[in-house]
Structure 1
C-alpha cells in the first residue's frame, strides 16, 4: 500500500528535485498533488486542457475514467508556475499530450509504469522511506486537505469516494495525527 507524503519538508524537497530534473515530470507531480486525480486521468491530459495558447487556463475540466463523473478544479498558483515553466521548456502543440513519451513525438503519453518509476525514483533520491507511487499524489492531496482542516465530507466528494469511512482509511490517519488533535484541543 502506498502512502501520502506526510512530511511537508519532504514534499517540498520532492517538488524542488522534480523541478530541476524535468519540467514534464514536475508538472505531472504538481497536477497530481493539486487535483486529487488518478494517474489514468492525469496521463490523458493534453496541452489544450491547461493552456489557452497564451497562458494557463483558470480551471481544468474532465470526466474521470474510473467513475465517469465530471470534475473541475482550479489551477492553483503553484500549478500555474509549473505550467509556465513547462511551456517555456517544451512549447508543445495544443493537441500534444502533456506528459508525452519521448518516443512518441507528443502523440502518446508516458505509461503508468513510467510515471510510477519517475515518482518512486525521485522519492528515493530525496530520502522518502515510505512506499511512493502515482497514487501517492492523490493521497497526498487528501491528507493535506485534511491536515489543513477541510471537512472529510468535502474531501470525500473531491476524491469521489462513496463514504467518509473509506476516505478516513484512504488518508491513512495515524495515531500521531490523533495525538495531535488531543494536544491541540487542550481543553
Structure 2
C-alpha cells in the first residue's frame, strides 16, 4: 500500500503516515507508528489506523507500555494492542484450524460479536461491554446462542493468556445471561408437515430433501449442511453426525423415506452431500423454505415468534411426535444430541399421562 513518509506528531516517539489509497471519513486514512529502543536496537512498530479508532495519544500510551516492559526485562508483547477481530483471526489460525468447529464458530462470531466489539482493542473491552452485548441480544437470540457468543470471546482471551500474549483480565469471565422463556411451543401436525413437504418438493428438490431429513431425524440445519459422503452409511441405515452445536458426536437413524432420499443423492466420500451453489458448505437455510411456509399460511396471524414455523420447527416436531407416542425422554435426548436431559424436558408436557394407568396397575396388584 502506497504511504507517505513518517511525520512526527506532538507525542515523543509517535509518528504518522498517510495512505494514498485508503480512505476514512472522506479523507486519506492515517496510520500511527511508534519507535523505542531495546538496548541499542531501535524498534519500529505499527499501532494501527485512525479508521480503527487509533489516535496519536493512544499510540503514545502503547509506546509507554513498551518502555515499561523493556525496563522490567520483559519482551514487549504486541498482541494486547490489536483489535478483537485480529485476535480472533490469530485464535482461528493457531487453535481452530485443526478442528471441525472453525466454520461454525467463525459464522457465530461474524453474526453476533464482530459487528459490536470486533473493531475494539482487546485491552479496551471491559466486563461492562460484554454484559451490554449479552443483555442487548436477549429477546433477539436464544439464551444458548448468547452464551455461545460470550464463550467465543472468553476462549479467545483465555488462549491469548495461555500463550503469554496477553496479561490483562478476561472481560468475558463472569458474564450473566438473563434468562427468558423463548422455548418454541409450535410443532407441526401430520397434515401440516405433509403439506409443507409437498410444497417444498414442488419448489426445490434440495430444500425438500433437507427438510425431510430434519423432520425424520431431528438433525439441525447446520448438521445437515455439514454432512460429507462418508457420514452416510446406507447399508446400516446410519448417519454419523460429527460437527454438532455442542461438539458431541452422535448417530441418527434413517427412516425409509430418508434412506430413499440418500439413495437418490448417491453421496460420495470426500464430497459435501448438500453443497452450496459454488460447491462449498451452505451457511443458511434456503429462502425457499420461508416462501413455502408463507404460501401455506402457517404463520398467518401469529405475532409471538415462539409460535411461528421456522426450519428448526422440524426438529422440534420430530421430538414432539416421539414424546406424544410415549418414547422415553432419555432416548429422545440421545437422538437430539442434547447435552443434558433438562433441555429435553421441555417436551415432557406432551407425553401421555401415565399416572392414572400406574394407579390402576397398583390397585390390581394390591387386590
TM interval, shorter chain, is 0.7 to 0.9
Contact residue 32 and residue 137 of structure 1 kept, 8 A: yes
Distance in 2 (alpha carbons) for counterparts of 1:172 and 1:125 = 32
| 2:248 maps to 1:78 | no
Which position in structure 2 is the counterpart of 1:98? Answer: 273
Question: How far is the alpha carbon of 1:172 from its aligned partner?
Answer: 8.4
Larger radius of gyration: 2
Which position in structure 2 is the counterpart of 1:120? Answer: 290
Provide the aligned C-alpha RMSD in A: 3.0
Which position in structure 2 is the counterpart of 1:37? Answer: 219
Q: Which runs of 5+ in 2 are unaligned?
A: 1-181, 300-306, 361-367
Work out which structure has the larger RCO, using CA pairs closer than 8 Å and 6 or more positions apart in sequence.
Answer: 1
Q: 2:282 aligns with which of 87, 91, 110?
A: 110
Distance in 2 (alpha carbons) for counterparts of 1:57 and 1:125 = 38
Secondary structure in structure 2 of the residue aligned to 1:142: helix
Secondary structure in structure 1 of the residue aligned to 2:333: helix
Q: What are the superposed Cα offsets for residues 119-176 of structure 1, whole Å, 9 maximum, x if unpaired?
A: 222222222124222322221111111112101121122223344443232x484xxx
Distance in 2 (alpha carbons) for counterparts of 1:123 and 1:56 = 34
| 2:316 maps to 1:146 | no
TM-score (norm 1): 0.73
Q: What are the superposed Cα offsets for residues 84-120 of structure 1, whole Å, 9 maximum, x if unpaired?
A: 44x3xxx776543222222x0xx213322xx063322
Greater fraction of residues in strand: 2
Tell me the number of residue pairs that the alignment of Structure 1 and Structure 2 aligns. 168
Secondary structure in structure 1 of the residue aligned to 2:250: strand
Structure 1 residues 6, 172: CA separation in 2 closer, same or farther (over 3 Å shift)?
A: farther
Q: Which runs of 5+ in 1 are unaligned?
A: none
Distance in 2 (alpha carbons) for counterparts of 1:140 and 1:76 = 15
TM-score (norm 2): 0.40
